[in-house]
Amino acid sequence: MGRKEKTILVTIIANVILIILRFFLANISGSIGLQANAWHSFTDVFVTSVVFIGLMVTRYGGKKISAVSKKVEHVLAIFVSLFIFYMGVEILSDALSGEKTELRYVPFVAAGAFFGVVINYFMARYKIYVGEQTGSQSLIADGYHSKMDMYCSIAVLIGIIGSLFGMPDLDKISAIVAMVLMMVAGY
């Protein structure tokens, strides 16, 4: 396994950690924004896994395996896109409902969300750096995708912190931002 593949594997593991962290924090706090961000991270694992599989097929596969993997990749991409849109509609309907949600354990959850932003930042820098060093355009593109995820995570963090200052609707707004970005990625 080369440097590019190892980089992708490390970032897949980091994204799985982010998914677990964000779903845990969303569950204990009631944050719709964190839930949306967790689903967004779930899609990132898929995108990064496709990049990983593509790199592995390029390295070890023949032309026949490469052609089959592209067809499977397209089918999986369509399935994941449909799943993303479904989750987006579900979370958007929750965010746009008139119900007020009182976030719980906000300081703890905000610290965990900040940790997620930091992980996104270092993943983006790591992918871009290794991509530039190895000449991997797909790794660089995935790094910029992680950078976009970092900005989405910052929006969610602002939504969580807003509830400390009497602005609970910021969490719903951050969920909408996260879902729009996720749906764009699904498209």
Per the CB < 8 A criterion, the answer to whether 163 and 32 are in contact is: no
* Cα first-last separation, the chain: 31
State how far the Cα of 58 lies from the Cα of 74, in Å rounded to an integer: 16
Q: What is the pLDDT of residue 84?
A: 66
State how far the Cα of 152 lies from the Cα of 130, in Å rounded to an integer: 23
User: Mean pLDDT per segment of 10 residues, for the chain of length 187 residues?
Assistant: 88 94 94 85 81 74 62 61 70 70 89 95 94 85 83 88 85 78 67
Q: Alpha helices of the chain — where are they, by DSSP H?
A: 3-29, 32-60, 63-96, 106-134, 137-164, 169-186
Q: What is the pLDDT of residue 125?
A: 96
| 105 dihedral zone (left: phi>0; alpha: psi -120 to 50; beta) | left
